[in-house]
């Protein structure tokens, strides 16, 4: 079958590989769509990156890349089950599913508490073979897609779950104000989720015009170009002195500072962007304003897959409270996966989310 793999930074190629073998407790999926994620782009530019590595500076040294390359890529998947393994009775051939790919160790303190997305085993690069013709995954990860949710929308279940988990971490309540810094896929998902949750006012800071337009289409009440106007004062003006909840969805030091200083006194800041470099904020911005800064990583998966963000997002997509159409930019065939990466990395491009269709 065909599988797109990262061979080195800046080089992704579609290779011919053996079909994955079936295992007990697994399902085989014909992939219909797989979205290009921001983490895919990060590894395309910088090489294999760990999901966690506090004690190693959040990097995989170049001397260890040979342990991971060539590395399969793609994890925002939707497809149809074509085969079920021994012992599988929850999923049937013909089911359309999206895999919630958090595989817990079931042995650490976090798994014992049901916080499977915090599992100590989740440490290496994502390395999921989603840019492919088919994939075999544990049946325990499979979440069935409702019949009335189009596959091109269901392919966004994973990133939208990241967004929804973010506002849940921030404790957003109906009637509160929200400011989002960055209108990529995750930031736009935050906008849609916040609107669906009943936010009173949603403000977005984003330098690209096309993405500001997408934010408005997702329900943002106001947008600002931070290259033309100070986003901190803009947010404060729109939210009576500061937003109840701010979300950093870029992964850069300037937007981190803006997120903190745009939050109301006593407000909450959610760090949702993935940072490639260290960043700092002034501690007094937190202490003197009694702001709370929280992190948000991935979504609830593992044995929480049917009670976490995946089914919640699919419900929002099904009943129309969340329309991801403004996020979707294009669909490209697997043979053009390198073109998708080039477009998404181009700062002049209007693309937000590109789906790969085998």
Sequence-separated (6 or more) residues with CB below 8 Å from residue 214: 183, 188, 326, 327, 352
Residue 165 belongs to some domain of the structure = no
Do 261 and 133 belong to one domain?
A: no
Residue 109 belongs to some domain of the structure = yes
Q: By the 8 A CB rule, do 83 and 27 touch?
A: yes
Do 179 and 142 belong to one domain?
A: no
Do 100 and 204 belong to one domain?
A: no
Q: Residues of the chain with pLDDT > 90: what percent? A: 89
Is pLDDT of 107 > 80? yes
* Among 1-10, 50-59, 68-77, the least confident range: 50-59
Cβ atoms < 10 Å from Cβ of 123:
11
Do 74 and 137 belong to one domain?
A: yes
Residue 86 belongs to some domain of the structure = yes
Do 125 and 149 belong to one domain?
A: yes
CATH of the domain at 73: 3.90.180.10
Q: What is the pLDDT of residue 59?
A: 86
Do 178 and 224 belong to one domain?
A: yes
Q: By the 8 A CB rule, do 245 and 225 touch?
A: no
Q: Which of 295, 315, 343 is the last residue of a domain?
A: 295
Q: Which domain holds residue 273?
A: 171-295
Q: Residue 38 CA to chain centroid, in angstroms? A: 7
Q: Which of 254, 272, 295 is the last residue of a domain?
A: 295
Q: How far apart are the first and last CA of the chain?
A: 10
Is pLDDT of 306 > 90? no
Do 68 and 198 belong to one domain?
A: no
Kindly report, residue by residue over 211-250, the tens digit of the pLDDT: 999 999 999 999 999 999 999 999 999 999 999 999 999 9
Residue 225 belongs to some domain of the structure = yes
Do 47 and 147 belong to one domain?
A: yes
Total domains, the chain: 2
Residue 163 belongs to some domain of the structure = no
Q: What is the pLDDT of residue 276?
A: 86
Q: What is the pLDDT of residue 34?
A: 98
Do 72 and 144 belong to one domain?
A: yes
Q: What is the pLDDT of residue 127?
A: 87
Is pLDDT of 176 > 80? yes
Do 129 and 192 belong to one domain?
A: no
State the Cα–Cα distance between residues 325 and 211, nearest whole angstrom: 13
Residue 166 belongs to some domain of the structure = no
Do 84 and 14 belong to one domain?
A: yes
Tell me the mean pLDDT in the region 264-270.
98
Do 151 and 8 belong to one domain?
A: yes
Residue 150 belongs to some domain of the structure = yes
Kindly report, residue by residue over 79-102, the tens digit of the pLDDT: 999 999 999 999 999 999 999 999
pTM of the model: 0.96
Q: What is the pLDDT of residue 266?
A: 98
Q: According to the 3-state scheme, what is the secondary structure of 141-207?
A: HEEECCCCCCHHHHCCHHHHHHHHHHHHHCCCCCCCEEEEECCCHHHHHHHHHHHHCCCCEEEEECC
State the Cα–Cα distance between residues 33 and 8, nearest whole angstrom: 24
CATH of the domain at 243: 3.40.50.720
Q: What is the pLDDT of residue 27?
A: 97
Residue 203 belongs to some domain of the structure = yes
Q: Encoding tokens for residue 128?
A: 């999921």
Q: Which of 262, 277, 295 is the last residue of a domain?
A: 295
Q: What is the pLDDT of residue 267?
A: 98
């Amino acid at each position: 079958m065909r599988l797109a793999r990262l061979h080195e930074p800046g080089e992704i190629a579609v290779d011919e590989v053996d079909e994955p073998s079936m295992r007990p407790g697994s399902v085989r999926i014909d992939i219909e769509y797989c979205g290009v994620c921001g983490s895919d782009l990060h590894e395309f530019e910088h090489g294999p990156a760990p999901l966690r590595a506090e004690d190693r500076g959040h990097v995989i040294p170049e001397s260890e890349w040979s342990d991971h390359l060539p590395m399969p890529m793609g994890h925002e998947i939707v497809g149809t089950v074509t085969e079920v393994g021994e012992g599988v009775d929850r999923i049937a051939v013909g089911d359309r599913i999206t895999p919630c790919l958090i595989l817990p160790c079931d042995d650490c303190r976090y798994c014992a508490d049901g916080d499977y997305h915090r599992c100590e085993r989740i440490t290496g690069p994502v390395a999921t073979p989603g840019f492919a013709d088919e994939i075999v995954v544990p049946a325990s990860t499979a979440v069935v897609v409702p019949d009335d949710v189009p596959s091109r929308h269901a392919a966004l279940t994973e990133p939208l779950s990241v967004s929804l988990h973010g506002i849940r971490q921030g404790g957003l309540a109906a009637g509160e104000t929200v400011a989002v810094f960055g209108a990529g896929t995750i930031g736009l998902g935050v906008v849609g989720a916040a609107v669906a949750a009943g936010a009173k006012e949603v403000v977005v800071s984003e330098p690209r015009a096309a993405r500001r337009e997408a934010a408005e289409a997702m329900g943002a009440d106001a947008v600002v170009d931070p290259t033309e106007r100070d986003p901190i004062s803009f947010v404060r003006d729109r939210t009576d002195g500061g937003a109840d909840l701010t979300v950093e969805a870029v992964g850069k030091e300037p937007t981190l500072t803006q997120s903190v200083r745009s939050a109301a006194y006593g407000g909450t800041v959610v760090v949702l962007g993935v940072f490639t470099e260290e960043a700092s904020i002034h501690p007094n911005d937190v202490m003197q304003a009694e702001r709370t800064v929280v992190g948000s990583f991935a979504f609830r998966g593992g044995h929480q897959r049917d009670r976490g963000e995946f089914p919640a997002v699919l419900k929002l997509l099904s009943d129309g409270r969340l329309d991801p159409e403004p996020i979707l930019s294009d669909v490209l065939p697997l043979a053009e996966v390198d073109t998708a990466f080039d477009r998404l990395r181009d700062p002049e491009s209007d693309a937000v989310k590109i789906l790969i269709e085998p």
